[in-house]
Structure 1
């Protein structure tokens, strides 16, 4: 009987590694069409073309001079003499690999120069001519490598869904609070908006955030926080539900326009729901009754201006002291995931592990360039 071939453990492992690498390459190629990495400084296209043209002309002039210096070592089938124009003509047809054969090197020196100098110059000339195509291919490969590295190391990051007015201000606040831009990922359905986020130094994903495949490209399953800020409340609900199904541990903060939709967002999995219309309405009412209070509230909500509301861990020097004994004005304390305001009778002293919410002097936010 014919012996049955059974795959060894090593061959199975090799096939598994090959299949996984092939799958990752395919995923990276697909991600390259929807994931936009932060833009880097790029030379303008016209400047690139002019620079390549100047290099090509320089190589052509250099080759012409080399041929003309040893013009006695060349023969022109038309008149047996090689002048400067003939040298330029020979350099042009030689570098472009046209090679009509009407001018040929006949001297030993000329032939040696062709081997050692003109042939490398011909290769350099061709590289310059096809430089645009090579650069496009190189840039595409480089982009896929950047995406692969980003996907491999991204974890516990912030996903911001929607880069409109709410999303942009949320990102500005996050950056002002010390979160690096490379830890923030923006998801938006409009390519123009996603490109704007990329111009701002953020990784962006183009696609419908209500679909799991789009959120998976943003690595939402490994995110630590998710901000849901689309234009429509129904979209916010679907996005929140999808994000919560993909990630059970992440903190999800969602924004809605109407109060009646806030409970639905809570049921969908949002930890915190911000109602933009009612908040704006209350601020308008306060502004009518007391403009000074409204300005103070706006100051507190504007990061890096005047006073800021900041949550921080209690320091070793503050442990055992009353909240009012702290250098900053303590308005609330987070203890065992419970929020206690400054009037709570349990806040006689601060404990280890407490987090205090304080009003402190704002630190100006630096704009990254």
Structure 2
């Protein structure tokens, strides 16, 4: 999406807060990666999320209107040193906007970098079979993920560790530099490298997490897979991602669904396709045949004179439509099967059939080859 944030939401530049919220809800429902078939849904969803966040914040909106879309995005990329935290599929994070404020308005770092921050989103894949995608299923999923250290509760140091003010940043948790850039005088504030933004240096680190505040553990989760889901679609599990920082909420876990190929059915959106063999007499005289579906067997009428390769439609026998009513259809393509061997009675009958049609065919050498070419 190359348009600016107003165009992305479909609102005018003087739109009020209520208009922006209504437009966002409409666009978010349209482009949510869990339900949208748009190949660019994930990117569009991120854009409308960011548009909403910028345009509903008076300071950010003022900066956006003054700088314009391209310069704002350039400043975001240059100044957002931790941009994208929590911004996985559908995340739309704005992690570096504090720096942008300081760059554009020449601030002195009054906004705290030590406030709560949401954890990053994690992503994994889950393979299911077509029957599971048809019925909907609850699956167990085991992942290895970062979690808050249980011994130091994410602090990175023992509770009784001695502490002192960081001399590199004077306890601010930030270090500020001033540069001249094509955008003008830029004041850039970064997290202090000595104390990691804490403003405090501790006498010892946690032996369990080695000061990271996080450990990697294996977790087993229950995933609810809705009926009708397609390969490539993503389920979001709120709060099951990486732990937040400074008391912030966890990120989310994004589960991309992969559906295994089926031995009988081919999927085409909400429709299914199936090849079904019939005999030569069934094709000539017509018959009622039993067809396998994902919901059990059903009967299908094969009319007299059916040709090999002809396709019949069974309405409502395809996949359920995700979060909508009804099912797709099942398309059955019939194939006439030529027998490998015949008994004497069958040979006589087929020879009589050929003679009745005025054909002089040596049944032993070529009749079935001609049948194959005909059907």
What's the TM-score once normalised by structure 1's chain length? Answer: 0.19
Greater length-normalized contact order (CA 8 Å, ≥ 6 residues apart): 2
- Which structure dedicates a bigger proportion of its chain to strand? 2
Q: Which has the higher helix share?
A: 1
- Structure-2-length-normalised TM-score: 0.19
